[in-house]
Every structure is written in structure tokens, then in C-alpha cells.
Amino acid sequence: MNLRNISVIYRKELTDALRDRRTVISMIVVPIFLMPVLTIFVGVLSAHLIGRALLQVPAVMIIGGENSPQITTALSELKDVHVVPAASDYAQQIVDKKIRAAIELPSDFDALIARGDTAKVRIDVYQGEINSGFSADKLQKFFQDFRERTIRERLDARHLPANLAEPIVIEEANVAPPEKVGGVVLGGLVPYFVIILSLTGTMYPAMDLTVGEKERGTIETILCSPISRISLVLGKFLMVLTASLSTAALAIASMGLTLAAANKMVGGGSQLKTMGFQFHITPASVIWVFVMIAPLAVLFSAALLAISLFAKNFKEAQSYLSPLTIVVFAPAIVSILPGVELNAGLSLVPILNTSLVCKEIVSGTYHWGYVALIFASSCVYAAGALWVAIRLFQREDVLFRI
């Protein structure tokens, strides 16, 4: 191993990579623009969809209530729903989105209320469908108001106080600091994006520096120079690692700025702010997320270098690396799932451990014992992958597997 030769190879590979449009896109353009574009796109799209659904006057159907003109008239007079004539296939009409909801009333609803009895009302909806959900909300609100009014009337009739039917008032208050509340929401997403991007940022350079050399015929050219194979693989590895780390760093920076901008746009008096959400990552969190991602970047760089070298051509390398993205996606997604908490066992599971610890870091929680364990275990996995890459570069059957 010769540091001078490693540096010569690294500089050449960096120059070469920075002139390659595909590498620049995956290494610089994607991490910088993905998060802002996604945020703006998803934000605008969801605001548009929700706004449209809220403005819509949904068609609803009243089933039953034949002898209850008071309630059916009150429902028909509602401005934000449009009552359509009843039909026996109302359930199918909801599924077909012809109507958004149906209210099932007993035929003697008015009489039951007048007698002081309980009337059962059922609202039929298409669960998970946004327009149906909003329609149900409007009907729920109507009946809640109706219920409260009826309770008040019944209590008044008996000369009883209004709070009789309300023995306790339940109030939920958030005691967590705003950054932790925001962190719970963002904590899973930030590492997810950073991990995925640091992998995808590594893919193209890793293929270009290994199987790309085979395909272009430059592998023989470099192998007949007097540098050792270890220097060669380390020079290449450092370049791939640079790609991975810069992708991760740019992704974290871009996310931080996007979230800061989003925070400003949300504004001081907004509902989210009132609820205690604060979408921002502290500089300390950014640094620690980057520190924890670093050994993972080493692991990705070495593993992708080894796998790509093993392939005969670009196409084969892509077919090897595509399933690998699923292998990385799976633990990254698991870490977002609610209830998956960091523990000693999970601290040893590669990728998932980094994802979980970053989630904690973003929400401002630092379990130093786990941080150390995860960093150490990730370093061991990374060293193993690098060792495999070095061994493969010394195998003729791999280098000349054409």
C-alpha cells in the first residue's frame, strides 16, 4: 500500500467522475433538489386535493327516517351536503363514488327523540377515501350538534344544570418540546432519505470505476502500471466513498434548509405550531446524523465496489445492485414504523441500527451507549466489506470475468 499512489488514483478518479454527467446527477443534483422538490410537490398536491375535497358539496343519501320529517328536513337544509333520493343500492353507490356517504335513521327518529329515548344513527362511508371521509365528518358534526342541543333541551325541561351530562372534561396537553414533537414525525423520514440517497449516490460511481473499466477496456491499462492492487482498490474506494458522503451531506443540508423554509412558511400562529410541531433539525443533529451515516457510507461504498467488480458488464452489475436497494430499503422502512424502538439487539442490525439512531438524534434524544455500539458495529461491517473488495481485486477470475 502506497499513500502517494492511492492519492494519484483518487485524484484521477475524482476528475473523471466530476466530468461524468450521470455521476454528477446522482452525487450532487439529486440530493440537493430531491427534498425541496418532494416537499413542494407533495405539499402543493396535498393542499390542492384537500382543498378541493373540502369545497366539494358531497351527495349523501338518507336511508329510513320515513316518519321523521324534522330530522330529514334539517339534513336536507344543510348547505355543505346535497341529499339525494334514497336507493336500495346505496352501499354500492358509495363504493362507486356516486354518493359519498349514507345516513341510516330509524323510521320513528323524531318520535324517539321527542319521547326522550335513544335513536341509533349509522353513517355509511368508504373508509380511507378522502371525499367520503370529509362527508362523514360533516354529518358527524351535524349529529354531534344535534345531540348536544337535545341534551340541553332535556336537561332544561327537567330544570337540571347543563353540566350534569358532563361530569368530567378531558384535556390532552403536550409536554414535549416542539423540536421533539417535530422530530417524532421527521425522525424516521430524515435518515430514510439520507440512507437511500447515500446508497443511490454510490451506485453509479461504483459501477463506473469497476465494471465500467472492464467494459471500456481500461482495466488492463491500469493493471499493467506498477501500483499494487491494494492501492488501486483503495484509491477507487475513496472516490466512491466521496460520492456517498457528499450525497449524504448534501441531502442532510438540503433537508435542513427545506425544513427551515417550511417552518417559516408554516408561521407562528399556524395550527401545526399551536399543536407543538417544529420542523427543524439542529446543527448538532445534522453533525451527528452525518457521523452515524459515515460508516454506513463506507459499507455501501465497499460493498457496491465489490459487487460491481464481480459483474461482467454494466447490465449485469445493475441486475445485482437493484435487489440490493430493496435490501437497504427494507430496514430503512422498518425504522419508520411506529413502535420500532432502538435496543441492544437492533443496534447490531446493519442499516436498521443507523436508521433508528438517526431517528432518535433528529428528535433530540442521544443514547450514547447505543450511539457508540452502532458506530462500532457499523465500522466492523464496513471493514469487512472493504476487505472483501480488496480480495476481489486480487482475483484474476473476477478482474477478467468478461
Q: Which residues contribute to the site for other proteins (CB under 8 A)?
A: 5, 8-9, 12, 15-16, 19-20, 216-218, 220-228, 396-397, 400
Shortest distance in whole angstroms from residue 379 CB to other proteins: 30
C-alpha cell at 124: 355509511
Q: Which is nearer to other proteins, 15 or 70 (CB)?
A: 15
Q: Which is nearer to other proteins, 356 or 399 (CB)?
A: 399
Shortest distance in whole angstroms from residue 128 CB to other proteins: 51
Shortest distance in whole angstroms from residue 335 CB to other proteins: 38
Shortest distance in whole angstroms from residue 391 CB to other proteins: 15
Residue 229 Cα to chain centre, angstroms = 41
Q: Which is nearer to other proteins, 110 or 208 (CB)?
A: 208
Shortest distance in whole angstroms from residue 8 CB to other proteins: 5
Q: Which is nearer to other proteins, 303 or 399 (CB)?
A: 399
Q: Which is nearer to other proteins, 204 or 290 (CB)?
A: 204
Shortest distance in whole angstroms from residue 397 CB to other proteins: 8
Q: Which is nearer to other proteins, 352 or 392 (CB)?
A: 392
Shortest distance in whole angstroms from residue 210 CB to other proteins: 14
Q: Which is nearer to other proteins, 181 or 219 (CB)?
A: 219
Alpha-carbon gap, residue 335 to 188, rounded angstroms: 6
- Which residue(s) pair with 83 in the sheet? 60
Shortest distance in whole angstroms from residue 14 CB to other proteins: 12
Alpha-carbon gap, residue 194 to 248, rounded angstroms: 6
Q: Which is nearer to other proteins, 228 or 282 (CB)?
A: 228
Neighbours of 353 (CB within 10 A): 25
Alpha-carbon gap, residue 72 to 331, rounded angstroms: 53
Q: Which is nearer to other proteins, 225 or 365 (CB)?
A: 225
Shortest distance in whole angstroms from residue 180 CB to other proteins: 47
β 122-124/101-105 pair status: antiparallel
Alpha-carbon gap, residue 140 to 12, rounded angstroms: 67
C-alpha cell at 106: 330509524
Shortest distance in whole angstroms from residue 257 CB to other proteins: 31
Q: Which is nearer to other proteins, 2 or 246 (CB)?
A: 2
